[in-house]
Amino acid sequence: MFSFTRRQLVVRLASALSLVVLGAGIDRFVLAQATPIKRTVLLTTDEPGSKTHEAVMAVAEVSAGGSSGRHRHPGIEIGYVLEGSVRVEHEGRPAVVLKAGDSFKNDGVHNVTSADAPAKILAIYMVEKGKPLVEAVK
């Protein structure tokens, strides 16, 4: 069995606690860096003629140099770039750069990256009710 003096035990416990606190701080920092898109839902309403889908209107703000990561929506997204520009990459299609005034449709897996300045997008999602608006894809 291990034999520690009281002082050694206190030092070891304090060290372990410090590592846990440091790890939690690093985890929060990484999570903050991993969410460069802020979506603000403006309106949600039932889609006429459908019992399974709804329309969600939101403003998506992409931080300067930020990337959404590969993701999809449980339906489609149509949108309009209000400010800045973004590069949109779809699986199996060439990437496109969209600037303020451009409109688009996202279906399937895609990734959005802003340039050196923030971008703002008005997005309408036609999605299945009860599912998360965004699903990360590895």
Task: Please state, in angstroms and rounded to a whole number, the distance separating the CA atoms of residues 131 and 42.
Answer: 18
* DSSP tag of 47: P
Q: Is the distance from CB of 46 to CB of 91 less than 8 angstroms?
A: no
H helices then E strands: how many in the chain? 1, 10
HSE, side-chain direction, 13 A CA sphere, residue 69: 10
Under the banding of pLDDT at 50, 70 and 90, the label for residue 5 is confident
Question: What is the pTM for the complete model shown?
Answer: 0.71
Cβ-based neighbours of 90, under 8 Å, separated by 6 or more: 106, 108, 109, 110
Give, for 20, the enclosing helix (H) or strand (E).
helix 6-33
Quick one: average pLDDT of 20-40?
A: 60
Task: Round the average pLDDT of the chain to a whole number and report it.
Answer: 85
Under the banding of pLDDT at 50, 70 and 90, the label for residue 91 is confident
